[in-house]
Structure 1
Amino acid sequence: MNHWHVEDPVDTLVLDEGAIAVEVPASWGAEVSHQLRSAGPLGPILAIPGPRLRWLFLARPDPEPEPRHVPPPDVRYWRGPRHIPAARSRWVVPPAGALPPVGAVRCAIRTVRRLR
């Protein structure tokens, strides 16, 4: 069961309790998705235009309590329940299959930041 859905027309991403979306600048998106795919399942990714294009990686919470984590300045975590504005968005990776744990997304972001 998904803990999120996109309202039709695609203008809002709705996260239910227990769902997480990780926002990264689109300039990092392809590298983060490549790193994530190398580590395991790649979940849905939504591209949201705006003053700056951003990608939202949908994830599930880690089974263990989250370690204290301070995200990089350009990264944002959205936890459900929440409505995220997503006007004119498009799927970079359409929904299908399992969601990766948020820890895997966090690890992919750290790897990309080290490589930059």
Structure 2
Amino acid sequence: MEQWHVGDCLVLDEGAMAVEVPASWGAEVSHQLRSAGPLGPILAIPGPRLRWLFLVRPEPDPEPPHVLPPDVRYWRGPGRVPARESRWVVAPAGALPPVGAVRCAIRTVRRFR
């Protein structure tokens, strides 16, 4: 299991990945994920607009080409995600969902908006 440390930023190690969505979608995306399998850690990041950051497991195969919905951002390690004054919505405790499951949950939520 990964160790996640958050201060002014969340540090993503090589091979780590996160998906950032507007907080207004966050609860619905997490509900869809919970229905499909492991939820994984979620970090709420304040700012001009509150954002939720879903920590995910990258897929071993190359990602198929796709267009990101507006307001969605992928973060890939190694790198740092600005996370000042953030809080855990779901604390790290178990398995990470695959990035494909989060993409699918986002598509489902966007379809009904």
How many Å separate the matches in 2 of 1:88 and 1:69? 32
TM-score, L = length of structure 2: 0.96
Q: Match for residue 6 of structure 1?
A: 5
Between the two proteins, the alignment pairs up a number of residues equal to: 113
Show structure 1 runs of 5+ residues with no match. none
Q: Which amino acid aligns with 2:5?
A: V
Q: Summarize deviations over 1:61-96 as a string: whole Å, max 9, x none.
A: 112221112110110000000111100000000001
- CA RMSD in angstroms, aligned pairs only: 1.0
Mapped partners of 1:76, 1:40: distance in 2: 22
Percent identity over paired residues:
82
Letter in 1 for 2:30: S
2-structure distance, mates of 1:86, 1:45: 12
Do the aligned residues in 1 keep the contact of 2:21 with 2:73 (CA within 8 Å)? yes
1:5 is paired with a residue whose SS is coil
User: What is aligned with 1:100?
Assistant: 97
Is the contact between residue 4 and residue 92 of structure 2 (CA under 8 Å) also seen in structure 1?
no
For 1:1-116, list aligned pairs within 5 A.
1-2=1-2, 5-7=4-6, 10-116=7-113
